[in-house]
Structure 1
């Protein structure tokens, strides 16, 4: 693939990213086609009793805190996480409701924080990509000028060509990673909804 084609591909990706961001002017750095929802609403994932002081007290329970960490980790398969919820609540019949609220409060806070970190990272990379696209555009124009110069400095042409190829490939690799990471906030939403549903079912 020639430098010109590579640079054109980068500019096309940059334009596509700009179009996606333009869909919601409130979030100009948001690079995903999925709509940006800054945080999960409690009402969207919890139909159980009010959490009350469980929202702050869950961290004081070592067993709950440890379980929250395990359940919130994306490396923990969802079916395994659901099984752990059932086992934990089955073993606390006398205060099942209280433990259920502590557990969900911990999951809600932890997963919302995870989600926020991912989204901040996505927007940071989006800004880097925009800057990179601008530099690639400028260097492509500079390369074209060098190629059309008389006499032509082959050493400079080759050096700038190699630099453009390297920068373009980094841009494309980063773009692929962004597309993958854009799925993460949705997967966190789904995990919280699924675990919240299991917790509520165990309370009934």
Structure 2
């Protein structure tokens, strides 16, 4: 593949991602086709009793905090996480209700924070991609000028060609990673909803 074809492909990707971002002017740096929802609302994932002081006190309970860390980790399979929830909420009705609220409050806080970090990272990469596309456009024009110059400086043409190929590869690799990471906020939503449902079922 020639440098010109590579650069053209990169610009097509850059333009496509710009068009996607322009779909929602509130979030100009958001690179995903999925709509950006900045934060999970409590009402969307919890139909149980009011959490009350559990929203702040869950961190004071070492056992709850440790379990929240385990359940919130994406490396923990969901079925294993659900089983851990059921084991933790196997005490008396009074203990079960208090522990359930603490556990869900911790999950809600922790997974919302995870989500925010992922989304900030995506927007950071999006800005880098926009800058990279601008640089590739600029260097493509420089290369075209060098190729048309008389006399032609082959060493400069080769050096800039190699640099463009390298920058194009980095751009394309980032583009693939972004498409993969764009799925993460949705998977976090699904985990929180699923675990919240199990917690509420155990309270009944």
Shorter-normalised TM range: over 0.9
CA 1:65 to 1:92, structure 2 compared with 1: closer, same or farther past 3 Å?
farther
Inter-partner Cα distance in structure 1 for 2:141 and 2:200? 60
Output the TM-score relative to the length of structure 2.
0.99
| Long gaps (5+) in structure 1 | none
CA displacement, residues 83-132 of structure 1 (integer Å, 9 cap, x when unaligned) = 00000001454411010000000000000000000000000000000000
Inter-partner Cα distance in structure 2 for 1:194 and 1:4? 49
Aligned residues: 204
Q: Residue in 2 aligned with 1:134? A: 134
Q: Residue in 2 aligned with 1:165? A: 165
In 2, are the aligned partners of 1:68 and 1:107 still within 8 Å (CA)? yes
CA displacement, residues 40-83 of structure 1 (integer Å, 9 cap, x when unaligned) = 00000000000000000000000000000000000000000000
CA displacement, residues 120-178 of structure 1 (integer Å, 9 cap, x when unaligned) = 00000000000000000000000000000111000000000000000000000000000
| Long gaps (5+) in structure 2 | none
Output the TM-score relative to the length of structure 1.
0.99
> Does the residue aligned with 1:90 lie in a helix, a strand or coil?
coil
In 2, are the aligned partners of 1:7 and 1:140 still within 8 Å (CA)? yes
In 2, are the aligned partners of 1:92 and 1:99 still within 8 Å (CA)? no
In 2, are the aligned partners of 1:22 and 1:28 still within 8 Å (CA)? yes
Inter-partner Cα distance in structure 2 for 1:26 and 1:94? 45
Inter-partner Cα distance in structure 2 for 1:182 and 1:188? 11
In 2, are the aligned partners of 1:72 and 1:111 still within 8 Å (CA)? yes
Question: Runs of 4+ in structure 1 displaced over 6 angstroms?
Answer: none
